[in-house]
Amino acid sequence: MSDSRAFCPRCGDPVPERSADEADAADPLRPGSEVDLCDACYFDEFNFVDAPDRIDVRVCARCGAVYQGNRWVDVGAQDYTDIAIEQVSDALSVHVDVEDVAWQVEPEQVDENTIRMHCFFTGVVRGTPVEEQVTVPVKIARQTCTRCGRIAGDYYASIVQIRAEGRTPTSEETERAEEIAHDIVADMEATGDRNAFVTEIGKTDDGLNIKVSTNKIGKKISNKMIEEFGGTINDAETLVTEDEDGNEVYRVTFAVRLPPYTPGDVIELDDDDAGPVLVRSAHGNLKGIRVTTGERYEADYEEGASPDARKLGEHGDAAETTVVTVEDENAVQVLDPETYRATTVSRPDYFDPDAETVPVLKSRAGLHVLPDEGETEEPT
């Protein structure tokens, strides 16, 4: 046949021959696409926009998370309109043949839980401009997500107990523990972890209890605490229950035991007459300086952070007092801050001979010159 005209498979009308390029571009995934319908038949069944009759969205009334697929997701939406727009754009689809598709949406708040989305589409298909308007009602169901439900139900999987050996933790230590807990949770939330939260922080007679949502968070808090303050961690598992799938659920208690002495403490070591020690670090072995000479002190490996000792006071107890005279290499006279009598005390090597006043600590071990405040931390 010399006449190679094509015909519409639907109505039999002749259709213009397609170029070879177009024929090659026929989509193998759409059988029959190699034979074109005439424009009339094509537009007859052409459906520009595919839209659902309505969209139901479950939103957590507490945190704004949206239920997607089979889980709650933080969408970072400012309000329910943002959520509705997001959901509608996910749910709408346009015909693949249409080029230059543009659309806009006008949300209409119908009532507290219904937003009607008026969507206007334009595009070009077969050289013909097309447009369509669809209206999709979005119904917002306010619920409580799993996380908020757990928070409200005081759920926790782990307790971190902040304690200290032979003393109660300082307010600096407990405040830092709270800060660490919140920082760790905030970091995990920032990576999209919805299961991270602090359930409760409570003071006890001997320290602080921090209840958190996962064992991992408990472990992180504990590790960070001893990284900063020294000390040890003991963890103990308790079987709490079985979950829906029959798996055993353990709650882990992390007992953080901070070292007995903290930087700034002045202690007197048992069986030792080399003079009191100003503690500078409790990481690993206790380290400090002798307040009689300024020499370095470090506890044995076996003693670790808790050598046998008694606390005499701390740097904060020191009083600034007048230097009366420097006697020699080993001795200096200062005013006793209580009696105002000139008193000879040992001269540590951190003593500044030009200083008019120095901090001194008066304790049952006598009067000792301490270094200035900034020098109480272990140099790094």
Interaction site with Zn ion (CB under 5 A): 8, 10-11, 13, 38, 41, 60, 62-63, 65, 145, 148
Residue closer to Zn ion by CB (options 60, 188) is 60
Residue closer to Zn ion by CB (options 189, 295) is 189
Q: Which helix (H) or strand (E) holds 215?
A: helix 215-229
Residue given tokens 């799938």 in the structure block = 245
Whole-number minimum distance, CB 320 to Zn ion, in Å?
54
Residue closer to Zn ion by CB (options 73, 124) is 73
Residue closer to Zn ion by CB (options 113, 363) is 113
Whole-number minimum distance, CB 64 to Zn ion, in Å?
7
Residue closer to Zn ion by CB (options 8, 365) is 8
The amino acid sitting at 243 is D
Contact status, residue 376 vs residue 282, Cβ threshold 8 Å: no
152 CB-near residues (< 8 Å, 6+ apart):
62, 144
Residue 139 vs residues 53, 59, 103, 113, 117: alpha-carbon distances, Å: 11, 10, 22, 6, 11
Residue closer to Zn ion by CB (options 41, 85) is 41
313 CB-near residues (< 8 Å, 6+ apart):
265, 266, 361, 363
Whole-number minimum distance, CB 195 to Zn ion, in Å?
12
190 CB-near residues (< 8 Å, 6+ apart):
none
Cα-Cα-Cα-Cα torsion 158, 164, 167, 172, nearest 10 degrees, comes to: -90
Whole-number minimum distance, CB 18 to Zn ion, in Å?
15
Whole-number minimum distance, CB 27 to Zn ion, in Å?
19
Whole-number minimum distance, CB 231 to Zn ion, in Å?
36
**CA angle, 214 then 227 then 256, to 5°:** 55
For 24, the 3-state DSSP assignment is: helix
Strands (E), 327-365: 331-335, 342-346, 357-363
Residue closer to Zn ion by CB (options 60, 119) is 60
Whole-number minimum distance, CB 192 to Zn ion, in Å?
14
- Give the closest residue to 87 by CA, choosing from 121, 20, 137, 134: 137
Pairing state of beta strands 158-164 and 248-258? parallel
Q: Which helix (H) or strand (E) holds 143?
A: strand 128-143
Residue closer to Zn ion by CB (options 74, 336) is 74
Whole-number minimum distance, CB 151 to Zn ion, in Å?
8
State the Cα–Cα distance between residues 326 and 354, nearest whole angstrom: 9
- Give the closest residue to 213 by CA, choosing from 193, 230, 191, 242: 193
Whole-number minimum distance, CB 33 to Zn ion, in Å?
15
Residue closer to Zn ion by CB (options 10, 139) is 10
